[in-house]
Structure 1
Amino acid sequence: MKRNLLLIMLCYATLLFGQSELQPEIIKLDTCWSFAKSGSNDWLSATVPGTVHQDLLRHNLLPDPFYGTNEQKIQWVENEDWEYKTCFSLSEDQMKRQAARLVFEGLDTYADVYLNGARILAADNMFKGYAVEVKDMLRCGENHLRVVFRSPIKETLPQWETNGFEYPADNDHADKKVSIFSRKAPYSFGWDWGIRMATCGIWRPVTLQLYNVARIDDYYVKQLSLTDEKACLSNQVEIYNVTGETIPAEIDIDCSLSGATENAAKQQVTLQPGYNSVNIPLDIRNPKRWMPNGWGSPTLYDFTVRVSYQNEILAEKHHRIGLRTIRVVAEKDSAGESFYFEVNGVPMFAKGANYIPSDALLPNVTAERYQTLFRDVKEANMNMIRVWGGGIYENDYFYDLADENGILVWQDFMFACTPYPADPPFLKKVAEEAEYNIRRLRNHACLAMWCGNNEIEEGIKYWGWQKRFDADVYKRFGADYRKLFHELLPAQVAKFDEGRFYMHTSPYFANWGRPESWSVRDSHNWGTWYGRKPFESADEERSRFVSEYGFQSFPEMKTIRTFASPSDYRIDSEVMTAHQKSTVGNDLIAESMERYFKVPQRFEDFVYIGLVLQGQGMRRSMEAHRRQRPYCMGTLYWQLNDSWPVVSWSSIDYYGNWKALHYQAKRAFAPVLISPLVKNDSLRVHLISDLLDNLQELTLDMRLTDFSGKVWKKESRKVDLPANSSHEVFGSTTAYWKSAKDLTECYLLITLKNSRKQPVAQSVCYFVPTKDLKLPETKIRRKVKYSDGSYTITLSSPKLAKDVFIEIPVQGARFSDNFFDLLPGEKRVITIESPRFTGDEEIAVRHIRDTY
């Protein structure tokens, strides 16, 4: 009888609302917002999603935080409370909906939310979304929504004051080491590459979601097994029945590829009031696998789940799913313990970088900037990026783009470089944060692993905290570490993402100063920076997987001009020091430059040579790691990007300009690489392939050439190149080529050709550091032409022009190549893409000899 009554009610609801009223209605609450400092009545227009810093900047109430030393002038903002308010209207029909949820995808960080006089939410975690049932608080007509943000500093000061000791959070202000108590992006409190800008605000979208009958809360496409013949999948759907009664429903699963249906399934269910969990199996015959960049197409299937009642759709959800196997191989062996990613049954050498948040003001990162970022990653021949644990869990679109571009993601949980508490309230927050983000990200083909934290165990063991803290406090660091990273987080991964690899920390064993650690899993090797070692050290320091290493440079001059004036153009000026957050700093760049280059006097030349230095030095490490395979199976340099215009380890600056490092990474990560190594009066030539097919009947052609283009000596030999391998194919003394004096006036051009005499790869090898080369004076000829929406510049020179840099005064322009050696008599055609480049701007072309 009760069921018949319910069916009558549902039919009546269908007539009342119309067919479309059964589907959810999503109302974006992104307009009509205003903000004010708490305690004032000075309300100004606000942007949501956004932050209070962005709103203050828009109303000219803050100076540009990136310019000069303005960072200090904005610190007052973090100590204030701020309020945001809006109103929205609902019609009578909308009020007839059976359920309503107010969904905040991101609140930064401590916020009380009020709706029509009711306090509906007390948020305290930036890293999770909040959904609040608000049906009984809504009104027909005008509704009032208010969000009160409490200062992240004042909010956590009582915890700091009652803790009994200071955590070693060196990223924080000395007098307010409060960041570790907050589940807020650690980098916002400042880092050794980052500005301190402790934001607050509605930083991700907010929506009002209206429902009838039922909604889908989660849809997980779990891969049970995968072979070339069949993929076995479980479609796990969580449905919430809002009616309070049992409901007969039908669940449809549809899987398609490029618009063509691959398979479908239906299941009749009875939805109980509240939450319902349904598993529906689905097989795909002859599945096409998702492949990482460089190995094939990152094929994505379209999966849709629909919940219907009598052919009326109540709710639906869509995912793009890549079918692949990923196994992290961490096995003890005679040398120590391996660490590599086996993708679709094949060992993959990981090539990539560490990713930090793309902006100090996160809502500034547009879809276009994300698209450009992944284009940059893919074009540099990368197949992996590490989302570092001091930033944020990125938004869905970030991982969508990683899926689409075949880029694997090493995902850290958001903990970095300091111990954290493990009291019950903190653990509860972390458990909720982990569940939220694991559920959100587990469908992505790109997700390769979870890592508990960045460098915390290393810090506990090796950063001298034993001497800074008494024995009980130091013991507590270890106990709390175990609770968080050995117990809570792996349990959450096992529960919500069964089968995904979890590692409690990176680096796994010890730090860069202890060679015994290099043979075990992953390493962070900071020898060439904090250890002040030469770049050649990478040739000998063999690690199983290098997940961090780096060297700094200034950004190019057009970026420096955005934060400094000509009076600041000194590496020790107040402004340059303010934009250099490393404890070692600009002096180390100069020290290393002197080792390899003639140090120029002009600041602009110093910046240019510094870019070349960073690129060449880092390339040496990348090639060393690739030569060392299969002992070493990964190289992820620090760092890919910047969050503001700054001197840093990045390969792409804040405005999207590729530094020399990114061009060198593209070359070092090429699928087929010739890697010559000159060391101790010997030359060794290695061939490296990441291809899945063997290359046979190749010719290695070597020509010793002077700087005017005259060939002094030739050598060639037949070689084969096995798939997915590295091996040495040639060795000689340097004296075999010429006397030591002559080697300062020539280079070795090495070309790998296929059976049709077509080049497969090419490399230019020098026998001495750049400062010892007798580089000739030469004038580069150039011809600029506009065609098909882009500019081409054709360069040629009668003599060698080393490390040619083409510069235009437009941010974010894309060059097909830059920071390259222009060989004598060679014509090099470079394409420049930029919607803001008209061709009228000055094009500057320089090379190393110009700085003498």
Structure 2
Amino acid sequence: MTHRPGRVATHRRERLVRDWELASVPAGSLSDPSQLADTGPHAWVAAQRPGTVAAALRDAGTWSLDHPPRRFDADDWWYRTHFTAPESDDGDEVVLGFDGLATLADVWLNGELLLSSENMFVAHEHEVRSRLRSGRNELVMRFRSLDAALAAKRPRPAWRAPMIEHQQLRWLRTTVLGRTPGWSPPAAAVGPWRDVWIETRSLVDVSHLRMHASVNGTEGVVQVGASIAAHAGQRIDAVVLEVERNGQSYRTLLSREAGTQFAGSLSIDAPALWWPHTHGEPALYGARLSVSLAGRNDPVTVDLGRIGFRTIEADTSQGRFAIRVNGVPVFCRGACWTPLDPVSFSSDRESYTQAIAQVRGAGMNMLRVGGTMVYEDDAFHDACDEQGMLVWQELMFANMDYPTEPAFLASVETEVRQQLGRLQSRPSLAVVCGNSEVEQQAAMWGATRERWAPALFHEHVPSWVRETLPLTAYWPSSAHGGAFPYQGDAGTTSYYGVGAYLRPQDDARRSDLSFATECLAFAHLPDASTITRMPGGESLRVTHPGWKSRTPRDLGAGWDFEDVRDHYLAELFKLDPSRLRYADHGRYLELGRVATGEVMAAAFKEWRRAGSRCGGALVWFLHDLWAGAGWGLLDDQGQPKAAMHILGRVLQPVSLAFTDEGGNGLYLHAVNEQAAPVAASLSIAAYNESAALVGHASQPIALDARSTRGLPVAGFFDGFLDLSAAYRFGPPPAQVVVASLLDKDAKLLAQDFHFPAGFSAQREDDVGLSAAITHRSDEGIELTIHTERLAQHVCVEWPGYAAADNHFHLAPRGARTLLLRGPASGAAHRGSLRALNSRRSISIEDSR
């Protein structure tokens, strides 16, 4: 983490990234660096860069997630490197910084103990100029065994957290990721998981920065306060706050308060507002301080990053929960974020930018950084600010009964103030939440009601949040509100009625869901290319132990999340998954891939429909932690699974969605969340099993900005068609009903399909699919696909290319032009095209 606030132009920072090595020794066997000579040179492993032990060994080729598990918490781990002191002038400070040490760490510089840390999430800085040698300097770090620390006798918790392997982990400020068998890979974080750096600080120091951007009526207001101290021989004449956008600059002089304190505010009339991308432009302004020093022509600039003007409120009226941005209700949908690399927890800026762009393209507008993960890098938050992605930010507490001893609270306070200080004036920050499911676990595992609301999250943390982020909504736990924390129609909850609890699909409506901070967990089947990277490769079957070892499950449960998937696969396609697995494993995978996506899409259609009171829902997970049938909508390398494609069409800011209202008939819900109205043509077509048109209607439609309309489909036709198959006068009159929203140029804006008799696993010999390459460019290939009959879940597979959309339906005599992005290195010259309801697969060839 780069500590976004206050990057000073005259400070020269160098990351210590070279010449590292690490070694493991039995827990407690060495007490200081002087004893390292006893380990022998053979014990040391060269590291390409500082990072977690698992990442270093992976880079060295001595360990991977495909190797037998290794318990990194069992040993003590020592790191060391040598570096040359940076050049500095008289009066400069030289600071050694550690952005994250996991977890029980001691650091020596040139044989002298510099610091000890017991919190993975706390950063450290030390002035070291007087301790540096003119030549070679040695930096040594020890990371003590967590297993040894957990063996200490401590009071028992008031409740159990079944996902956590060791209940006394509650005493240690570290991530549970990698320490939760059943759903995260065995790669516990040990080592310097964030940057280690040395910085020369010249002329001025900036600290205790406070910055808040707000909207007051028609004005945008930026408030700034900081301690700005000049080095010896320097004197500060003036400090100016400057805010700029599109070449327009706004400036104000800060007032000098007591000592080194400066403060002031700047007002901007009618600023461009920041919106989530689904509702408008995420407008950003650059902010900086200019510090003028006596006798110097050029001021010292302090980069404050980019800020945005918006209001975000948590609407908790009537016991519900919803988000309003700039006074407008926003249906929040998205997923629970997981680190792009669950071994190192580190990724580059471009990877974050691409990942958020991918999420944005799927119509999502909120990501939850949950308490089971880690605080994300500044580059993640930069990408969310820039691309209009709301962030639900939890503190790193999950499920457990945390202690309240003074030393523990002091460490947590430092952590909270540091981590939230990094998020000041982040326009994407929507909510700060105290923890993940602490209240829910307390209630589910028998703790008395007064224990459900620990003082840590209801007294201490909210006071620190109010001081650090006074304009940001605080929510005590991810599942909170109602008579019990997991009550779906009150506050926020973890919703698994449809999902782990195997409720019928109509429970998505019957629950009257308020807001789901996580929901709809399924073991989503990956594509064939992902399966080849699993232990056992492409011949692997879902019943193999190698496959099952990566299937998410709750510890101690007699079922896993593939059982959940199979339950809904059977319900959706009216078949026995266990029979299909041994009779036709390939077909089982094909149906299973789309089944979870269709169940999720149906739930979100209910939650977004006109008349729904739901404020939002976030899917558990976005991204798999390793190759397998995980909870992720994306696989471990970020490739979309079928479920991601299917769900993404339902989540778009302009969308259509059918809902079956039984005896009231079929309804169509038209959504326009954009800032501008939509004038379009809406057509509805019904086809029978012979692909004959049995009903068609079209009419102009005007959708107001940020509106949802529910339309009875029966009103489109002169005669009665039982398109919901509610009256059962005979077979359903149509196999499929298709709604299409077209703009004035006949461009498709949104589309949805309804199957009155439900989905079928039956296949035709040939539905008349064909495809042709219509355009090539540096971006990839445009492929135009035609069908004669209904084509369900059309899938394009072309190694080296990524389809912009996939697993979509085509109406009889319909066509779709699809972009295949690429080519990647080694891309094939041939791909294939198939539909789920056709036995025939089509070969496509690039003849270039």
What TM-score, normalized to structure 1? 0.87
CA distance in 2, matches of 1:567, 1:787: 32
Specify the SS of the correspondent of 1:194.
coil
Matched, 1:392 2:368: no
1:136 lines up with 2:149 in the alignment: no
Helix, strand or coil at the partner of 2:543:
coil
Residue 170 of structure 2 corresponds to residue 180 of structure 1: yes
Structure-2 separation of matches of 1:377 and 1:563: 25
Partner of 1:435, secondary structure, is: helix
8 Å CA contact retained: 1:511, 1:523:
no
Letter of the structure 2 residue corresponding to residue 595 of structure 1: E
Distance 1:279 1:577, change over 3 A: same
C-alpha displacement of 1:368: 2.9
Give distance in 1, aligned partners of 2:745 and 2:73: 65
CA distance in 2, matches of 1:604, 1:666: 25
Q: Are residue 422 (structure 1) and residue 404 (structure 2) matched?
A: yes
Aligned partners of 1:525 and 1:548 also within 8 Å: yes
Indicate the SS of the match to 2:72. helix
Give 1:12's aligned residue: none
Report what 1:16 is aligned to.
Answer: none
State the distance in 1 between where 2:595 and 2:469 align: 43
In the alignment, which residue of structure 1 is the partner of 2:735? Answer: 746
Matched, 1:581 2:564: no
Aligned to 2:834: 846
* Partner of residue 322 from structure 1, selected from 304, 308, 312: 308
SS of aligned partner of 1:605: helix
Q: Distance in 1 between matches of 2:210 and 2:653?
A: 34
Give the Cα separation in 2 of the matches to 1:457 and 1:84.
39
Q: Deviations over 1:312-363 (max 9, x none)?
A: 545623310111111111123xxxx232211112222212222122232134
In structure 1, C-alpha distance between the alignment counterparts of 2:510 and 2:350, rounded to whole Å? 41
Counterpart CA distance in 1 for 2:488 and 2:564 is 25
Equivalent residue letter for 1:684 = Y
Q: Which amino acid aligns with 2:111?
A: G
| Residue 523 of structure 2 is aligned to residue 542 of structure 1 | no
> What SS does the corresponding residue of 2:71 show, helix, strand or coil?
helix
Quick one: distance in 2 between partners of 1:22 and 1:843?
52
Candidates 571, 589, 601, aligned match of 1:595:
571
For residue 76 of structure 1, what is the amino acid of its counterpart?
Answer: R
CA contact (8 A) 1:308 1:314 kept: yes
1:559 Cα deviation after fit = 0.9
Are the equivalent residues in 1 in contact too, given 2:279–2:653 (CA < 8 A)?
A: no
Instruction: Give a deviation string over 1:600-644, Cα, whole Å, max 9, x none.
Output: 433333222212011111001111000155622222222211222
- Number of corresponding residues: 796
SS in 1 for 2:185: strand
Counterpart-to-counterpart distance in 2, 1:94 and 1:835:
49
Distance 1:588 1:362, change over 3 A: same
Structure 2 vs 1, CA of residues 440 and 838 (structure 1 numbering), >3 Å: closer, same or farther? same
> Which of 437, 440, 457 in structure 1 is aligned with 2:419?
437
Report sequence identity in percent: 23
2:242 and 2:251 in contact (8 A); partners too? yes
Task: For structure 1, list consecutive stretches of 5 or more residues without a partner in the other structure.
Answer: 1-20, 467-473
Q: Is the 8 A contact 1:554 1:610 kept in 2?
A: yes
Tell me the equivalent position of 1:331: 317
User: SS in structure 2 opposite 1:848?
Assistant: coil
Alignment check: 8 A CA contact 2:505 2:599 kept? yes
State how far apart, in whole Å, the 1-side matches of 2:589 and 2:80 are: 47
Residue pair 1:295, 1:691 contacting (<8 A) in 2 also? yes
Question: 1:401 aligned to 360, 373, 383, which one?
Answer: 383
- Quick one: structure 1 residues 76 and 464, their matched pair in 2 at CA, closer, same or farther if it must change by over 3 Å? closer
Which residue type is aligned with residue 21 of structure 2? S
Partner-residue secondary structure (3-state), 1:195: coil
Q: Which residue of structure 1 aligns with residue 12 of structure 2?
A: 25
Tell me which residue corresponds to 1:87. 82
Letter of the 1:282 partner, please give it.
L
1:207 is matched with 197
Q: 1:759 to 1:846 in 2, by over 3 A?
A: closer
CA offsets, 1:551-593, max 9 Å, x none? 4112212112111325863322111110112143222322321
Q: Is 1:376 equivalent to 2:376 in the alignment?
A: no
Change (3 A) 1:364 1:836: farther
Does residue 169 (structure 1) correspond to residue 161 (structure 2)? The answer is yes
Query: What's 2:536 paired with?
Result: 565
Closer/same/farther in 2, CA of residues 843 and 166 from structure 1, 3 Å limit: farther
Aligned to 1:761: 750
How much does 1:128 deviate?
2.1
Larger displacement relative to structure 2 (715-724 or 397-406): 715-724
Give, as a single letter, the amino acid of the residue that structure 2 aligns with 1:520. A
Distance across 2 between alignment mates of 1:774 and 1:745: 17
Q: Which moved more, 1:666-675 or 1:839-848?
A: 839-848
How far apart are the structure 1 equivalents of 2:91 and 2:234? 18
- The C-alpha deviation readout for 1:527-552, integer Å capped at 9, x for no partner, is 12221123232133212223221141
Does residue 255 of the first structure (1) align with residue 243 of the second (2)? yes
Instruction: Please state whether the residue corresponding to 1:663 is helix, strand or coil.
Output: helix
SS in 2 for 1:426: helix
Distance 1:111 1:566, change over 3 A: closer
- Structure 2, unaligned stretches of length 5 or more? 1-7, 31-38, 715-719, 841-848
TM-fit CA distance, 1:124: 1.4
Aligned CA distance change for structure 1 residues 833 and 215 (closer, same or farther; 3 Å): same
Match of 2:46 in 1: 45
The equivalent position to 2:446 in structure 1, one of 437, 458, 465, is 465
Between the aligned partners of 1:416 and 1:170, the Cα distance in structure 2 is: 11
The more displaced of 757-766 and 660-669 is: 757-766
Structure 1 contact 171–189 (Cα < 8 Å) conserved: no
Q: Which amino acid aligns with 1:168?
A: R
Match of 1:686 in 2: 669
Alpha-carbon separation, structure 2, partners of 1:737 and 1:500: 45
> Which residue number in structure 2 is paired with residue 504 of structure 1?
476
Cα shift readout 1:255-313 (whole Å, capped 9, x = no counterpart): 1113x1421123474884xxx33112212233111121122221111111132312354
Does residue 495 of the first structure (1) align with residue 481 of the second (2)?
A: no
In the TM superposition, residue 191 of structure 1 has moved relative to its aligned partner by 5.4
* 1:85-234 equivalence runs, <5 A: 85-90=80-85, 93-94=87-88, 96-158=90-152, 161-164=153-156, 168-173=160-165, 176-190=166-180, 192-228=182-218, 230-234=219-223
Letter in 1 for 2:753: V
Mapped to 2, the partners of 1:737 and 1:164 lie a distance apart of 56
How far has the Cα of 1:167 moved from its partner?
A: 5.7
What is the CA–CA distance in structure 2 between the aligned matches of 1:579 and 1:361, rounded to whole Å? 15
- Which moves more between the two structures, 442-451 or 344-353? 344-353
Aligned in 2, Cα 1:412/1:149: closer, same or farther, shift over 3 Å? same
CA contact (8 A) 1:90 1:142 kept: yes
Q: Distance in 2 between matches of 1:701 and 1:387?
A: 40
Residues 69-113 of structure 1 deviation map (CA, whole Å, 9 limit, x = unaligned): x4xx3333321111111111136x526343221111111111101
**Counterpart amino acid of residue 504 in structure 1:** P
Q: CA RMSD in A?
A: 2.9
Q: Which residue of 1 aligns with 2:283?
A: 299
Q: Secondary structure at the residue paired with 1:418?
A: coil
After superposition, the Cα gap between the structure-2 partners of 1:799 and 1:207, relative to the gap in structure 1 and judged at 3 Å, is same
What secondary structure does 2:211 align onto?
Answer: strand
Checking the alignment, whether the CA contact within 8 Å between 1:97 and 1:210 is kept in structure 2 is no
Q: In 2, distance between residues paired with 1:494 and 1:328?
A: 15
Contact 2:336/2:622 (8 A) holds in 1: yes
Q: TM-score, normalised by structure 2?
A: 0.88
Spell out, residue by residue over 1:397-446, the C-alpha distance to the aligned partner (whole angstroms, 9 max, x if none): 10000000011111111111222222111111111110001111122110
Letter in 1 for 2:72: V
1:34, 1:43 within 8 Å by CA — same for their partners in 2?
yes
Q: Which residue is 1:797 aligned to?
A: 787
Which of 593, 603, 606 matches 1:621? 603
